[in-house]
């Protein structure tokens, strides 16, 4: 019963103008200040994600507004902002010396009913215990 209700809610969101299952969505990848640092193209029905971003070469000191953060790896995720349990790790991200990074993933499955609405690049510390969201792209049909 709960599964049917969740499926109905997702279907209603999609029909109401949320993330459209069959189309490719282009989202700007924004840093913590709201500045665009790249873009993500996502097609949930096909399970494809393509991200192009500008990131500081590793290791990088990330300004978090509270304290400096030393990042040793970036990882990209597709996730739902309404359900923490719904996430797919896409890839580790390694920017070039010119600060360019690309992630291209073909998951080859229909992800449209799982509630994915964000692509995030997260910086992790050397020990992996600390992390900071560096770039976020919100998937919205325009």
The domain that contains 49 carries what CATH number?
A: 2.60.40
Cβ-based neighbour number of residue 12 at 10 Å: 10
What's the number of domains the chain is made of?
1
Residue-wise pLDDT tens digits, 1-41: 434 333 333 333 444 444 445 689 999 999 999 999 999 99
Q: Is 1 exposed, middle or buried (0-12, 13-18, 19+ CB in 10 A)?
A: exposed
Angle at CA of residue 132, ends 131 and 136, nearest 5°: 135
Cα 126 to Cα 108: distance, rounded to the nearest angstrom? 32
Residue numbers of the domain that contains 97: 2-138
Residue-wise pLDDT tens digits, 45-81: 999 999 999 999 999 998 888 888 899 999 999 999 9
> Could you give the 3-state DSSP secondary structure of residue 81?
coil
Cβ-based neighbour number of residue 97 at 10 Å: 6
Please state the pTM of the whole predicted model.
0.81
What residue has token string 């990131």?
55
Cα 93 to Cα 58: distance, rounded to the nearest angstrom? 10
């Amino acid at each position: 019963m709960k599964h049917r209700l969740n499926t109905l809610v997702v279907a209603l969101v999609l029909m109401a103008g949320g993330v459209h299952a069959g189309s490719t969505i282009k989202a700007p990848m924004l840093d913590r200040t709201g500045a665009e640092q790249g873009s993500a193209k996502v097609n949930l029905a096909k399970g494809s994600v393509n991200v192009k971003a500008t990131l500081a070469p590793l290791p990088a000191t990330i300004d978090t507004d509270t304290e400096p953060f030393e990042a040793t790896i970036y990882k990209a995720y597709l996730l739902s902002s309404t359900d923490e349990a719904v996430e797919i790790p896409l890839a580790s991200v390694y920017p070039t010396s010119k600060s360019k990074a690309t992630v291209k993933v073909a998951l080859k499955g229909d992800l449209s009913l799982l509630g994915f609405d964000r692509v995030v690049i997260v910086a992790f510390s050397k020990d992996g215990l600390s992390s900071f969201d560096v770039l976020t792209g919100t998937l919205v049909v325009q």
